[in-house]
């Protein structure tokens, strides 16, 4: 199970919090609280006084961390049945995933889980210690938030369906199974730089739009349109039916990216760091393209592969 950042909140209430500024009561009276430093500040130091760069941590006072990026800013989380219900009702596209207490036996949590699934928000069952590492009190549920509210496919698809009739060139990028926030941030940055009109992400199997994603995108996150279709496979299928050229980037093919003849309406998809291009994308591809690579190398980083693919498409189109 992979989460994006470590965080713990000792504040009371279920409102949205930034967990980089959390507080705990150290027993000097109910009103005396001290600021607890960012999670990576608790990482043990070596003999030379430096902290190790791996993701291991040593925390004080029995705080149980969630697994994630040691150097990342904390991801915003919201705890509480009422608060998460309101989010899923009013702003489901800003919710990355919802964590539920495993085997809680609470019927309200069961109904809330059904609401999340109806909104195509990914849900996970986790131990209560994981929930508490994100927010307390949480009443058995925590929502992890995206830094930006994503677009719904139903709100934008007509623009892309009508592009051919209007003579408008359109380039769509698809990123799947990317778990590293820095990788996703780099994908967003390259997509903006290389003329992508919209970036499509799956509803699950990805890291969220975390502060690390925002930081790595270097400002591109605010400018790049990002959409999370309820069914990415169906959305790609609709684009194929509308005449878009569906292209995948994968090493397991003989078709070379260099010199490939692109359509003016193209979808370029990349897979995750370890799993590659998912089958539901690959089966819809008009071509799967291989990026030239020395045999000693295992593979390209996902964001690098996407950047190279987008560059090859855009190099004769961007002056």
Q: What are the pLDDT digits (tens) for 162-186?
A: 998 898 999 999 999 998 999 999 9
Domain ranges for the chain, please list them: 19-145, 153-314
Interstrand relation of 77-79 and 141-145 (parallel, antiparallel or unpaired): antiparallel
pLDDT at 151 over 90: yes
pLDDT category, 251, cuts 50, 70, 90?
Answer: confident
The domain defined by 19-145 folds into 60s Ribosomal Protein L30; Chain: A; (3.30.1330)
The more confident residue out of 18 and 303 is 303
The more confident residue out of 35 and 54 is 54
CB within 8 Å of 90: residues ≥ 6 apart:
none
- Among 23-32, 197-206, 265-274, 286-295, whose mean pLDDT is lowest? 23-32
What is 153-314's CATH superfamily? SPOUT methyltransferase, trefoil knot domain (3.40.1280.10)
The Cα–Cα gap between 276 and 207 comes to 15
Distances (CA, A) of 56 to 18, 20, 119: 22, 18, 35
Using an 8 Å Cβ cutoff, are 274 and 302 in contact?
Answer: no
Kindly report, residue by residue over 56-96, the tens digit of the pLDDT. 332 223 323 333 444 556 789 999 999 999 999 999 999 99
pLDDT at 214 over 50: yes
> What share of the chain has pLDDT > 70, as a percent?
76
Torsion of CA 178, 182, 186, 187, to 10 degrees: 10
What is the average per-residue pLDDT within 111-129? Answer: 94
């Amino acid at each position: 199970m992979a989460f994006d950042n470590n965080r713990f909140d000792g504040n009371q209430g279920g409102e949205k919090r930034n967990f980089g500024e959390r507080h705990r009561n150290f027993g000097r009276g109910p009103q005396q609280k001290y600021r607890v430093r960012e999670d990576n500040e608790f990482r043990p130091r070596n003999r030379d006084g430096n902290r190790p760069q791996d993701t291991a941590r040593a925390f004080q006072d029995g705080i149980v961390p969630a697994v994630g990026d040691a150097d990342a800013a904390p991801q915003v989380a919201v705890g509480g049945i009422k608060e998460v219900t309101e989010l899923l009702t009013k702003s489901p596209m800003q919710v990355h995933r919802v964590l539920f207490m495993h085997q809680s036996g609470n019927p309200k949590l069961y109904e809330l889980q059904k609401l999340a699934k109806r909104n195509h928000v990914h849900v996970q069952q986790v131990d209560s210690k994981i929930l508490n590492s994100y927010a307390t009190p949480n009443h058995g549920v925590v929502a992890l938030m995206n830094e930006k509210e994503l677009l719904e496919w139903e709100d934008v698809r007509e623009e892309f369906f009508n592009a051919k009739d209007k003579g408008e060139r359109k380039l769509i990028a698809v990123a799947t199974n990317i778990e590293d926030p820095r990788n996703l941030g780099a994908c967003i940055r390259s997509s903006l730089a290389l003329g992508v009109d919209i970036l499509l992400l799956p509803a699950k199997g990805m890291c969220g739009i975390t502060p690390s994603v925002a930081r790595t995108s270097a400002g591109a996150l605010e400018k790049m349109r990002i959409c999370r279709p309820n069914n990415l496979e169906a959305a790609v299928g609709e684009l194929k039916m509308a005449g878009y050229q569906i292209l995948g980037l994968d090493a397991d093919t003989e078709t070379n990216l260099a010199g490939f003849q692109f359509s003016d309406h193209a979808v370029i998809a990349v897979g995750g760091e370890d799993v590659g291009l998912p089958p539901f994308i690959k089966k819809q591809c008009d071509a799967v393209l291989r990026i030239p690579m020395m045999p000693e190398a295992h593979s390209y980083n996902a964001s690098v592969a996407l950047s190279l693919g987008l560059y090859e498409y855009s190099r004769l189109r961007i002056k």
